[in-house]
Structure 1
Amino acid sequence: MAVAPIVVHPPLLMGGRRVMAHGRMLGLAYSDADLIEFLSRAGVPDAEDLLEDPSWVKWRGGHAHHYEAA
């Protein structure tokens, strides 16, 4: 099985999630809007439509779309 090129890491203690694409840090997202912006800037087409696609995005730790500290 192929590895998703985008990884959204678990929420940090201060809130927000690190976003990586192909091992490169894109930024710290505090919302889906931030995540979509990072992906769009990285050249990912239709980023909004890919957030639920596990072949594109791997959500690690916590619940998907949850950005607050646990």
Structure 2
Amino acid sequence: MATDRPVIVYSPDEQGGRRVRVDGTILGRARSVRDVAAFMQEAGLQEFDEMDVVRTGLIEWRGGGPDVWTH
């Protein structure tokens, strides 16, 4: 994963999921910060956990921060 490109977590959809994009590729839908951490791990940051997701500057949160999971 190129660290100069942000991870984008899009606004929650009607079901409460948020699309996650890394390096231009949609990895899937997250339903929690834990899911975002799992996507980050799959993208090569194996040490990333939920606290890293909340604190990192690598993630661009659209439509609300890490505490917003409803539409």
Same fold, TM exceeding 0.5?
Answer: yes
- Determine what percentage of the aligned residue pairs are the same residue: 32
Amino acid at match of 1:33: R
Structure 1, unaligned stretches of length 5 or more?
none
Q: How many residues align?
A: 66
Structure 2, unaligned stretches of length 5 or more?
none
8 Å CA contact retained: 1:7, 1:19: yes
| TM-score under structure 1 length normalisation | 0.77
Q: Which residue of 2 aligns with 1:68?
A: 70
Per-residue displacement from partner, 1:18-53 (whole Å, max 9, x unpaired)? Answer: 000011011100011111111111112432253222
8 Å CA contact retained: 2:9, 2:21: yes
